């Protein structure tokens, strides 16, 4: 499997967004993770499709992975696809019919992915596994960057990797040089890191170091 590292733009310096997007691309990271929040689904607000469009304008070749922390992602799929989302991740806890919405994402020319929160049992996503290209296991309660990694979520990754040896499995929340290795050992191959990577003056060195530490544990 390929190890992928995704800086989360949520942790960028918003006074220099274009430079921050370029810094993430030039770090050697594999894709940009864009966290879209509505205050019904999480206790916070972030940004919308315009930020995805900005990322495409500034770094057209830097893959855009869009995480919708929204109660009604179904109302915004076209807008995010049009703005340049290349993967759209929707939560199993969202208030919409995933058997309808996941195929709709694919029909828009975007890869569909499913996400589950720390308190959600892994069995909840089983009915959708054949409809997605990727599963994101949250390792914090979504809403804010900079939280502590919840290691109790790792058995979900093990459960998924045992059943889907070739599927992309992502972790998001509290990922740093240590918890990245724990996640890859459990079977993850995609790592989102916000505050850890954007907080480093030399992001490229941090990305290279994370890759090197995880390499020998990759399945
Ligand atoms: C949490 C978001 C994460 C967040 C991760 O609500 O989904 O993507 O940006 O930030 P860190 O890496 O700082 O935990
Ligand atoms: Zn996220």
Which CATH number goes with the domain that contains 40?
3.20.20.70
One of 35, 74, 168, 182 is an active-site residue; which one? 35
One of 30, 74, 168, 172 is an active-site residue; which one? 172
Spacing of C-alpha 202 from chain mean position: 22
**DSSP E strand stretches across 53-167:** 63-69, 87-91, 111-116, 134-138
Is residue 189 within 8 Å of 218, Cβ to Cβ? yes
Query: Residue ranges of the alpha helices (H) in the chain?
Result: 17-26, 49-58, 77-83, 98-107, 154-163, 177-186, 195-198, 203-215
Query: Residue ranges of the alpha helices (H) in 59-97?
Result: 77-83
| Residue 172: active-site member | yes
Kindly give the distance from the C-alpha atom of residue 35 to the centroid of ligand 2, in angstroms, as a whole number. 5
Number of neighbours of residue 166 by Cβ within 10 angstroms = 8
> Per residue in 179-202, pLDDT tens?
999 999 999 999 999 999 999 999
Number of neighbours of residue 123 by Cβ within 10 angstroms = 9
Q: What angle do CA 18, 73, 32 make, to 5 degrees?
A: 30
Q: What is the pLDDT of residue 208?
A: 98
In this prediction, residues 30-41 reach a mean pLDDT of: 98
Number of neighbours of residue 109 by Cβ within 10 angstroms = 9
Residue 189 dihedral angles phi and psi, to the nearest 5°: -130, 0
Is residue 85 within 8 Å of 105, Cβ to Cβ? no
Return the residue whose CA atom lies nearest to atom 2 of ligand 1: 142
Q: Report the domain count for the chain.
A: 1
Structure tokens at 183: 């996640």
Return the residue whose CA atom lies nearest to atom 3 of ligand 1: 173
> Per residue in 101-143, pLDDT tens?
999 999 999 999 999 999 999 999 999 999 999 999 999 999 9
Q: Which are the contacts of 45, defined by CB distance < 8 A and separation ≥ 6?
A: 37, 38, 39
Is residue 83 within 8 Å of 53, Cβ to Cβ? yes
Residue-range definition of the domain harbouring residue 170: 4-215
Is residue 92 within 8 Å of 112, Cβ to Cβ? no
Is residue 185 within 8 Å of 205, Cβ to Cβ? no
d(CA 129, CA 114): 8
Kindly give the distance from the C-alpha atom of residue 8 to the centroid of ligand 2, in angstroms, as a whole number. 7
Pocket of ligand 1 (CB under 6 A): 8, 10-11, 33, 35, 67, 140, 142-147, 172-175, 192-196
Q: What is the pLDDT of residue 17?
A: 98
In this prediction, residues 25-37 reach a mean pLDDT of: 98
Q: What is the pLDDT of residue 120?
A: 98
Average pLDDT in the chain = 98
Number of neighbours of residue 202 by Cβ within 10 angstroms = 11
Residue 219: pLDDT band (50, 70, 90) is confident
d(CA 111, CA 116): 17
Q: Which residues pair with 87 in a beta bridge?
A: 65, 111
């Amino acid at each position: 499997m390929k190890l992928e590292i995704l800086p989360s733009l949520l942790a960028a310096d918003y006074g220099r967004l274009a430079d921050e997007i370029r810094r993430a691309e030039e770090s050697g990271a594999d894709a940009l993770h864009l966290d879209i929040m509505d205050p019904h689904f999480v206790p916070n607000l972030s940004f919308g499709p315009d930020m995805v469009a900005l990322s495409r304008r500034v770094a057209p070749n830097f893959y855009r992975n869009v995480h919708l922390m929204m109660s009604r992602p179904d109302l915004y799929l076209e807008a995010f696809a049009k703005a340049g989302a290349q993967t759209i991740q929707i939560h199993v806890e969202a208030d919409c019919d995933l058997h309808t919405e996941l195929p709709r994402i694919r029909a828009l020319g975007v890869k569909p992915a499913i996400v589950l929160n720390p308190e959600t049992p892994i069995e909840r996503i089983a009915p959708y596994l054949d409809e997605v290209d990727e599963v994101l296991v949250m390792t914090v309660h979504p809403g804010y960057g900079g939280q502590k990694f919840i290691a109790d979520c790792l058995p979900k990754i093990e459960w998924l990797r045992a059943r889907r040896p070739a599927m992309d499995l992502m972790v998001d929340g509290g990922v740093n040089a240590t918890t990245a290795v724990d996640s890859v050992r459990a079977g993850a191959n995609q790592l989102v890191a916000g505050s850890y990577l954007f907080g480093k003056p030399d992001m490229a060195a941090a990305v290279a170091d994370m890759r090197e530490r995880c390499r020998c544990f990759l399945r």
